[in-house]
Homo-oligomer: A and B are copies of this chain.
Amino acid sequence: MARNTKVAADPNAPPVTRTLAKLVATHPSRGWSDDVEHQAHRTFLNWVGCAIGAARHDSVEATLAALAMMKPSPQSSVLGRSEKVDMAGAALANGISSHTFDFDDTHLRTIIHPAGPVASALLALAEVTGATGRQVIDALVLGVDVSCRVGNMMYPEHYDRGWHITGSTGTLGAAAGCARLLSLDEAKTTMALGIAASQPIGMREQFGTMTKPFHPGGAARAGLMSALLAKNGFTASPRAIEAARGYAQTVSTKNDWNEITDQLGQRFEIAFNTYKPFACGIVIHPTIDAATQLRDKGIKPADIERVELKVHSLVLELTGKKEPKDGLEGKFSVYHGFCCGLMVGRAGEHEYDDAFVNRPDMVELRRKVVATVDDSISEESADVVAVLKDGRREHVFVKHSIGSLERPMTDAMLEAKFRDMGEPVIGKARIDAAIAACWDLGNAKDVSAVVKAASSS
C-alpha cells in the first residue's frame, strides 16, 4: 500500500508548464535580436557538421540496424548517409550521431548540449511536414530556450545527482520545438510538454559508452512523439513540470522557478550557446589555445626543451593522463592536448585517433610537458611557458579559450570545423552546399536544400 509521504514537495510551485507553453505557442516568429537569429544559425550549422562527422560511427550503424528491424517508412534523412527512416527514427539517429564525438554545442551555465535533442527532432519532423526554414529556426530558438531554462532551474543539483542533463531536459526542448513546428495551440503545447515531462533520459554513468550519445537521440525521439501525441488529443497534467509529484521535483531538489520566467521572451538562452573548437573536454581548451598561440609565434616542437604548464586542480583531476595509449585516453590528457596545438595547430577528431596519439614525435613532445596545479588560475584559463633549447622562455597566458563565450569561434572557424568533420564523409561538393544551406535556412522554403546536401541519398 502506498503512503502519502511527501519528499521535498512544494505544492505551490508556479505554473511553469503553462508559462513555457504560452511562450512556445505564441511568441512571434523571429521575435528576437539579429544576434539571437545568427546564433540560431550557428547552432544549426554546428549540429549538422557534428552529425555528418560521426555518421559512419559504430553507434550510428548499430542504431540504423536496430531501426531496420522495424522496416521504417523512408520519411526523413539520416545526415551523412543515404538511408531514410521514419521521422522518429531519424530524430534518434541524428541525435546520436551529433553527440558521438562530444564535439557539439554547449550551454556553459548548465553544460547542456542543446542542439542534439531539439534540432534532431525538428529536422526529421520538418522533412515530413514541409515546414519552412523560418519555422525551423523559430522552433529551434524556442525549443532550446525551454531545455536551457529548465536546466538553469535545476542545475547543479540535478546534474550532481547523476542526470545527464542534455537528455533529461532535452525531451522537453524537443517537445517544445516540435509543438511549435506543428503550430499546436497553447493548450496542446501544454500537453506536449506534459507528456515529455514523464520521459527524462540519461544517467552520467553512461559516459564513455554509446548510450551517452543515445541520450540526446532518445530525447529527440521522445520529444517528437510527445508533440505528435498531443496533436492527436493525448492528455497529460498541465502541471507536469512543477507539481509536487511532477518532473522537476522528482528529478531535482533544487528548483529555482524564477529561472523559467526571468526575462522570458526577451532573453533567449541560445544566445549563450558555444561551440567547441577542439574535440575534447572543455577544461583542456585553454591549454590547446595557448599551444596554438606558441605555434603561431613560430615555435616548433624541435625548439622545445621543456614546457611549464600551470592549470587549476580540476584540469589535472579530469584530464591528467600523462601517457595516453589511444585516442580515447588522449581525450583525457591535457598533455596530449598541448602537443596537438603545438604540433599541428588544431585538435580535431583526427588528432584523437590512435595512430596520432602514438606518433613518436607526439610521445616525445608530451614527455617534455610538466603540468603543475595552481588554483589561483581559473578553470577557464591556462598559463604556459615554453622553455626553449636556446634558453629563451616564451610565456602565454590564456584567460578565456577560443570557443568560450568571451572569445567565440568565428563563423569562418565554424565552417572550417564543419569541413574538417564532414568532407571525409560526404565530400567537398556536398559540404560546400550544406554550409550554404545552413546559413540560408531562415530564408529557405523548406529544409530540402539542407538534407539534400547533408545526406548522401
CB distance from A207 to the nearest CB of B (A): 8
Q: How large is the interface on A (under 10, 10 to 19, 20 to 34, 35 or more residues)?
A: 35 or more
Chain B residue at smallest Cβ distance from A69: B228
- Docked Cα-Cα span, A202 to B250, in Å, equals 10
Contact of A205 among B111, B161, B214, B237 (CB under 8 A): B237
User: Quick check: is A361 within 8 A (CB to CB) of the other chain?
Assistant: no
Chain B residue at smallest Cβ distance from A58: B233
Query: Which residues of B lie under 8 Å from residue A246 when comparing CB positions?
Result: 162, 203, 205
**Copies of this chain:** 2
User: Quick check: is A209 within 8 A (CB to CB) of the other chain?
Assistant: yes
Contact of A70 among B63, B75, B380 (CB under 8 A): B75
Chain B residue at smallest Cβ distance from A317: B4
User: Quick check: is A420 within 8 A (CB to CB) of the other chain?
Assistant: no
Chain B residue at smallest Cβ distance from A110: B2
User: Quick check: is A414 within 8 A (CB to CB) of the other chain?
Assistant: no
User: Quick check: is A29 within 8 A (CB to CB) of the other chain?
Assistant: no
Query: Which residues of B lie under 8 Å from residue A65 when comparing CB positions?
Result: 232-233
User: Quick check: is A215 within 8 A (CB to CB) of the other chain?
Assistant: yes
Query: Which residues of B lie under 8 Å from residue A338 when comparing CB positions?
Result: none
User: Quick check: is A127 within 8 A (CB to CB) of the other chain?
Assistant: no
CB distance from A129 to the nearest CB of B (A): 9
- Docked Cα-Cα span, A59 to B58, in Å, equals 37
Decide: A203 and B317 in contact? CB cutoff 8 A. Answer: no
Chain A interface (Cβ < 8 Å from any Cβ of B): 1-9, 58-59, 61-63, 65-66, 69-73, 75, 86-88, 108, 111, 128, 156-157, 159-164, 167, 194-195, 197-206, 208-211, 214-215, 218, 222, 225, 228-229, 231-237, 239-240, 243-247, 249-251, 282-283, 314, 317, 379-380
14 A–B contacts, CB within 8 A, in A order? A62-B229, A66-B225, A66-B231, A69-B228, A70-B75, A72-B86, A162-B245, A198-B201, A198-B214, A199-B199, A199-B201, A205-B240, A205-B244, A210-B234
